[in-house]
Structure 1
Amino acid sequence: MTSSGAVILSDVHVNHKHQQLDCIKPLSGYVTRFEYIIADAEVQGDHVGSDVHTDVDGDYDVKRKKIVCKDCIIIEHSLGTELKYVGLQVWQAALLLCDFILDNCNTFKGCCCLELGGGVGLASITLATLADTVFCTDVGRQILETCQNNVERNCVNEKKCKPIVRELDWFKQQHQGSEKTGDLEIAGTSNRFYWKKHELSILSRLDFIIAADVIYDNTLTEAFFNKLFEVMCGSECLKAVYIATEKRLNFTLEDLDVTCKEYDFFRACMNELASKIAKENTFKIEQIPIEFKQRFSYQRTKQLELWKIQPVKVSA
């Protein structure tokens, strides 16, 4: 694990052009356009030239050119942060998760979804192009405010879903001045990112939970799985959880070898979850091959992984 005082810069921001905002903010202050492919389309050529060929039946074999249709998401973010503020950057696992979402439109169309550790909101904003309801959660006013800015910047179509940004601290069950209901916090008057009462009933009908690049510190990973289990237990019709992560290999003097202890701990937590039973469900865990179409620009390395957790009814 990187020391807490070290400055960390995501590879995503090394490889993408970014612009500085006119109004510099303490931690964020940059914006990047993340273009992605919507679809490939073939269109017929607009003229018949002397090089036109015919097929075996004598019909014109008209050349077609491929048109790539693109859209973009504009994200406000930081460049280089300490470990506690890495949620203000965009990471490659988030782009992998976005690719997966867009490659499975029918799965996510009309769904109700919760993102844990949503950071600046890229995955939730991507999902909102398909879903009916998306809750994007994280902790810390700067991260939540930046995420809300990104939602306002990108989700301007009133006919489409607009992610709801809410605070969800994996370590806490209740905020001072708030009313506890289940394991979430009910809004008081001091924090606009607290939960509203009617939203809790929506959470009980979650279809999917997603998370990207939340595995980098063992204490946080343990808290993440505890909170994940609580939310899964509270959802009556959950179909699956998708977790995108990146193995970060480091040479350590302690082991005299290249290791990734945070990833090993993540796998141990997954195995522990697979052994639990909740509401007559066990949890099937599988790694999803990442050969699906790459729509965003990033380095899809073999260190990037996507995992699926699926509730399965216990046989009588």
Structure 2
Amino acid sequence: MQGKTVLVTGGGGSIGSELCKQLAKTQPRKLIVFDQCEFNLYKINAELQRRFPELPRAAVLGDVADPVAVQRAIREQKPEIVFHAAAYKHVPLLQNQVREALHNNLIGTKILAEAAIAAGVARFVLISTDKAVNPTNVMGATKRAAEILCQNLDRQGHTRFTTVRFGNVLDSAGSVVPLFREQIQAGGPVTVTHPDITRYFMTIPEACQLIMQAETIGRGGEVFVLDMGEPVKISYLAEQMIRLSGKRPGTDIKIEYVGLRPGEKLYEELFHEQEQLLPTGHEKLRLAKARIYDSAEWSRQIEGLQQACACRDSAALLADLQRLVPEFECRP
């Protein structure tokens, strides 16, 4: 990324802010941080100023689903590389807010990607999630649809589109680690949804390093999957955090099982059964062989979905989303 102008959407978030800090170390020509949260944007901009005072940068307040804001930012800042980390990610919150999830995660990606193509941006990296694999929730389905969108767009212009998919990152906003920490400090109980639930975990810095590595080696149209190691039982994580706090699980701090949340899986998958995993030469980075979709038919479907978004018809939107992502099985 040295000598390049780089734009990061969601640059004030958990992944986006760490990505900005790691990108700053590569000495880009300019770093543009784009975020719709004023406070998060202020925080990361202040940190970049403190740590990298010589770095040319811009802090742009805007929503990726606002075409005017997106087009203006790309036209004025002229990025050569876009890292798209902006997304709504909270599974239970999005289950009954289909329109908002689709508008931000899919339509926002479409607006940003098409603006990048129109401006001749060289490379576009979509940050995705393991919840996009065989999705059982609205969030995962919208991210899978965004993956398909970027794969289709890669074949339509000169912009090189790459997707990077991974599981949970430790200590991100809204994750179980800060929640468990707060619950332990309050004296418990620590709430776990199910005794057998597991998740993949990786540190935020490691995930960002691999995202940048994927951008470097990607040629366009790929879905890269990060090697997350072995999945961790959330009950074990809760027990270990209680012990590390100097307390005894079940005695000093109780663990309560509260049931799976809407749309939640017992376990996550990093790739679909039809996606053959291939090596990349980097031990922590795998390539999922992409499935091919009919671009013309898929484009017609997404246009209909945009119209349904304007009408705020949640039932129609859910049906449209299931057509866009056939493996989506929505769970209450």
What's the TM-score once normalised by structure 1's chain length?
A: 0.42
- Say which one has the larger Rg: 1
Q: Which of the two has greater helix per residue?
A: 2
What's the TM-score once normalised by structure 2's chain length?
A: 0.40
